[in-house]
Chain A
């Protein structure tokens, strides 16, 4: 039976299979899985970009030479200003200088070549260049030195505070600056900020996380449920044969074709309590008490968000189901008709079972999207009023980009990931087990 091979070189079926899978896997691994793992790693640190002492992941006690050199320069500069404004502070300032110099010498002697690195950093700073090279910027320091340095800084800060009393007017500003600069210098010592699962315990114990989680869950269940029901009806409708079917299909898809960012803007316009047409009609038909309630109350806000999402995403669901309907051979219906089954019976016994896998894929992916809802809420309500519409992604976004708390934001993202993974596993196990087993045959 075997055909003689036509070419000398040919991949076996299995090799071909791996070759065909490879591009997807490589893309997904590089673009998505790697960032996920990075986030998971970040979530184990107290990692905040707007705090110089925590702006990188540090696993052993180190000093940031950039911060150190910069502040050292400023401290000495400001001390000159103080000296000018307050000549009788000279003695104290000399003491401070001696103490700081002593620490500086010790630091430079802790490691060979450190003095050169310090000089290099200093030169870069003089030229306003950033020190991007981590190898150059970060130096591990012994604990004794760091402790001693912290003590010195504390003592000198106290000494500066002592000078404040009886200081002439023009010395007040330099003294305040000097104090800040000394405390900034302390910020160059980077303590290890690995905190293990602390971010998780903090945010799992926080009421706001759970409110956001519940909001997200409610949003997911309601929107996906309604979208499935309406989407199925729409799919059945546009699957019928009638004049102008193409146009109706295109029309039904219009909501989905409007970019979410634009649609969300459009809905703020339509839901507006003063001039929004939707709010106006809803109030007129007695659906809501007054047009203002839509976006300014928690329940109204949640309703508006869900409504806008259902309007926009139902076509997506309908399209997926419509494609599923196409895979049903017409002969099945013809046979059922011969057997005398009515339309409803046909729907239950043929349509539903045949599009089951389409429904599963549609619901699964819609639910994954809905659980990560972001743009719509961010534009429509920003999570308000009183945080009653905040979703978990919106919360994570605020932590990551508004507050620059990368550790906490990553932890929340991982929590979303785990919840979604759990939910979809349960979903696949309960309803969709054939989805996997079906695939796995052969």
Chain B
């Protein structure tokens, strides 16, 4: 047994050595205020540049970056765990645009109205939808960060025809499928996750349907919404999409499009970067972008992107606000755009040559228009529940278990029940 006891002793030694490191915190004892900024993993390195530039301008504030899971749902759940425990560990964080009402009502984040008013921040300078997404019940819980809007990608080496409507898309996808080794006419996101909701909203709104109206009433059971949904069902069940489209997320769309498998695809602006990178993509240089096809009532892009919020339990509110204000201001957004390719939420920045030179997306009129008309997802404190209901029923409808009519009826009943169970 001697040998194994030796091993145990060895392990214990390592363990203790490891433990002693616990106590050695950072002993920086200057007067700088330290705040912690949490955000999802950033592979572009833009965050570091951003923080550096800020610290240079505000030497009194020291920003520490804390990485959160890149999966939006997972980071949401981690914030919930932290804030419900009133943790003050994080001061500022990047929030998905659908979180504001929920986090606001849960008293996790600081309402910014008093600060915005005090410092006279011009909220009209931002795209309206990005401000609206951070507002609930008359309070502003978030500052716009960067924006995303759904775009249509196409292969310029296969076709120069850009479908104006969903009907045209069906026809063109069918016609062009198979050219240049492509296997599919169209790619989208239809797995049971948040993506199926953003996709469905684009169909529903482009035919004039709505999910919740301005007063928060459920209005999804309308002929327009049914028409939009039916179009989505037709497309997911057509033979020009992959037969495992019900498991497609952005990543699958990206890898398949970059492999040269598809003619058209719906995705966020980020795809433009990877699709044009010859290292990973076989279609580099042959990528075109356009607004999404229109239904009977015009085109609609779901609004995506991230906002900045301040933890309600933060003990460094002033420094946090300075940082948030700066990040959401021109300087911060410009760095995010130049270094990270993120689309600014300040309208004026699209006149800046430096920024439009970053990528064809930022230079594209179509993208600017998409942002201008982007549709935020329903703004309600129980958005996760609403989204969950939609994910399930949409997934059922796409799988052919229920019809479009049944789907909207079921969504209507369940959403109403969910909204009734909360007070506001």
Residues of A whose CB lies within 8 Å of any CB of B are: 48-55, 66-67, 70, 74, 78, 127-130, 132, 176-181, 183-184, 186-187, 272-275, 290-298, 381-387, 397-398, 401-405
Contact = CB atoms under 8 A, between A and B. Distances in A.
Given A178-B138, A296-B247, A386 B395 contact: yes
Nearest to B397: A386
B110 A50 contact: no
9 contacts: A53-B423, A180-B139, A186-B423, A273-B243, A274-B255, A274-B259, A275-B259, A292-B243, A385-B395
A180 B84 contact: no
B107 A55 contact: yes
A401 to B, nearest CB: 4
Given A49-B80, A51-B105, A184 B137 contact: yes
Given A51-B105, A273-B244, A274-B252, A404 B138 contact: no
Given A66-B107, A384-B193, A402-B384, 10 more contacts: A50-B102, A51-B105, A74-B138, A178-B138, A183-B137, A184-B138, A383-B192, A386-B395, A402-B388, A404-B106
B80 A296 contact: no
A244 B423 CA distance: 67
B255 A181 contact: no
Interface of B: 73, 76-77, 80-81, 84, 86, 102-103, 105-107, 110-111, 113, 137-139, 191-193, 242-247, 252, 255-256, 259, 261, 312-313, 315, 317, 381-382, 384-385, 388, 391-392, 395-396, 398-399, 401, 422-424
B138 A387 contact: no
B80 A404 contact: yes
Contacts of A292: 242-244, 247
A178 B138 CA distance: 8
B252 A387 contact: no
B241 to A, nearest CB: 10
A130 B399 CA distance: 47
Given A55-B106, A128-B110, A403-B388, A382 B193 contact: yes
B136 to A, nearest CB: 8
Nearest to B381: A50
Contacts of B110: 128
A296 B424 contact: no
Nearest to B110: A128
B106 A385 contact: no
Nearest to B318: A128
The residue among A50, A181, A382, A386 with the most chain B CB atoms within 10 A of its own CB is A50
B399 A385 contact: yes
Contact of B76 (A48, A272, A402): A402
Nearest to A272: B252
A189 B364 CA distance: 50
A13 to B, nearest CB: 25
Given A130-B313, A296-B244, A51 B80 contact: no
Nearest to B423: A53
A74 B138 CA distance: 10
B106 A384 contact: no
The residue among A178, A275, A291, A385 with the most chain B CB atoms within 10 A of its own CB is A385
Contact of A384 (B113, B252, B385, B391): B391
Given A49-B80, A385-B192, A296 B107 contact: no
Contact of B77 (A78, A176, A402): A402
A184 B141 CA distance: 15
B137 A50 contact: no
B191 A384 contact: yes
A403 B384 contact: yes
Given A273-B242, A385-B395, A404-B384, A51 B247 contact: no
A183 B73 CA distance: 30
A128 B324 CA distance: 15
Contacts of B192: 381-387
Contacts of B102: 50, 404
Nearest to B246: A296
A295 B193 CA distance: 13
A50 B101 CA distance: 9
A130 B107 CA distance: 9
A176 B315 CA distance: 32
Nearest to A379: B71
B84 A404 contact: yes
B84 A49 contact: yes
B131 to A, nearest CB: 12
Contact of B191 (A181, A382, A402): A382
A118 to B, nearest CB: 18
The 5 closest A-B pairs by CB, nearest first: A384-B192, A292-B244, A273-B244, A177-B138, A401-B77
Nearest to B80: A401
Nearest to A380: B247
Contact of B423 (A187, A291, A385): A187
Given A274-B261, A386-B192, A404-B80, A180 B106 contact: no
Contacts of A290: 243
Given A273-B247, A274-B255, A290-B243, A50 B138 contact: no
A295 B247 contact: yes
A393 to B, nearest CB: 14
A129 B110 CA distance: 10
